Amino acid sequence: MYLITVCGNLLIILVTISDSHLHTPMYFFLSNLSFADICFTSTTIPKMLVNIQTQSKVITYAGCITQMYFFIVFASLDDFLLSVMAYDRYVAICHPLNYMVIMNSCLCGKLVLASWIITVLYSLIHSLMALQLSFCTHVEIPHFFCELNQIVHLACSDTFLNDIVIYFAFVLLGGGPLIGIFYSYCKIVSSIRAMSSAQGKYKAFSTCASHLSIVSLFYCTSMGVYLSAGATHSSHSRSTASVIYMMVTPMLNPFIYSLRNKDIKRALKIVFGVKLWKDSLAWG
């Protein structure tokens, strides 16, 4: 699953870079999402696979904090990029004539850069606050990676301030993008309903179908992690839900965007067609 995730998302990045027809805001955001998904899974899964192979579950303190930092960065980045992509779809459907003017390269770059800056600072705050905590000599994390909540609750010192920051940041930075996505799709649905042509409605909806599928997967699996954790209080159930959350959605993203996307299919045929033609020419 990890190899499929990495190869599939790398392929999306490759075709969006190599095909000039895909140099549009939607595919620019998609390639950034694919990169974030690769990094997101790579922060935890390789270490888990090494642990399984070596039968050793030890991680250093520095390694644990580093893993926690990058996990928060790329999980939050996924959230923000999905919100940015929802805004892109809103402009494309609700303001089609001004789409290229509004979603110019400068704005697209600023949106992605802002997402990176916010998530890096957000993760840095949590990591620096975690560094201030004191831990006992032997600490066993009931998870397969260093999750923020688990680290904070295992500390021997007072964690009241950490808990306040975690809940406040979760509501602000977790709820903000979700509200943005919800608002964008409310406007999109309203615009689609106002269209008189059935073909126009179908075309407008089809441009959002892939993104809506990924948003549903991301939020359903992530909410499943926390709901299952709160309902069962079982470390095994929490770990199983977390694996699904961190593997299933990033793995399915390339398939969702390629199976029903004519532009991606055409770009894949061109990329592999050119490669095969070059190979046959070289062997000839």
End-to-end CA distance of the chain, in Å?
A: 37
> CA 228 to CA 43: how far, in whole Å?
22
Considering the domain boundaries, does residue 120 fall inside one?
A: yes
Considering the domain boundaries, does residue 274 fall inside one?
A: no
Position 224 pLDDT exceeds 50: yes
Range scoring the smallest mean pLDDT among 93-97, 138-142, 269-273: 269-273
Put residue 118 in one of left, alpha, beta given phi > 0 → left and psi -120 to 50 → alpha. Answer: alpha
Considering the domain boundaries, does residue 281 fall inside one?
A: no
Look up the pTM and report it: 0.87
The number of CA neighbours under 13 Å toward the Cβ of 139 is 18
- The whole-chain average pLDDT of the chain stands at 84
Considering the domain boundaries, does residue 284 fall inside one?
A: no
**Which candidate, 195, 217, 154, 176, places its Cα nearest to that of 87?**
176
Top pLDDT among 104 and 240 is at: 104
Considering the domain boundaries, does residue 283 fall inside one?
A: no
Considering the domain boundaries, does residue 166 fall inside one?
A: yes
Question: pLDDT at position 277, please?
Answer: 46
* Total domains in the fold of the chain: 1
Q: Could you tell me the residue range of the domain that residue 255 belongs to?
A: 2-267
Residues in contact with 7: Cβ distance below 8 Å, sequence separation at least 6, in sequence order = none
Instruction: Say what angle helices 235-259 and 262-283 make with each other, to 10 degrees.
Output: 80
- CATH number (domain holding residue 197): 1.20.1070.10
Chain centroid offset of residue 282 CA? 39
For 143-178, write each residue's pLDDT tens digit.
Answer: 788 888 888 888 888 888 888 988 888 888 878 888
Considering the domain boundaries, does residue 8 fall inside one?
A: yes
